[in-house]
Structure 1
């Protein structure tokens, strides 16, 4: 494995976690149980993915997706 490629991918992962902390509430949970932590992480990352997709769609001029569709 190429060490520079791995080091470069670490930056992208760290950036993703920083965005999730600020926009999707990733840092707003106190760990009490593994299953609850896993559910919180999964929902936070799914929320961040939705935010990114919606943001990209609106910058391209497409209408934002709504929950009723």
Structure 2
């Protein structure tokens, strides 16, 4: 049996760990939604499906996160490796 509460808490801890690597609050919030979408059992994972899964009406925010958000890529990598 999967401990869903433990899994959610672990994912929340990862999001909290890397959140400081994003300069603005909007991408900090969106990265958790993005990661949850990637880990969800969605049939397809693209901008639209990830946005819909996160409750957005369009993929614009997810696309902005991936395309234009100002974040410390190397810092996130180091955080996750640690």
Q: Same fold (TM over 0.5)?
A: no
Who wins on radius of gyration, i.e. which is larger? 1
Please give the TM-score of this superposition, normalised by the length of structure 2: 0.31
With structure 1 as the length reference, what TM-score do the two structures score?
0.35
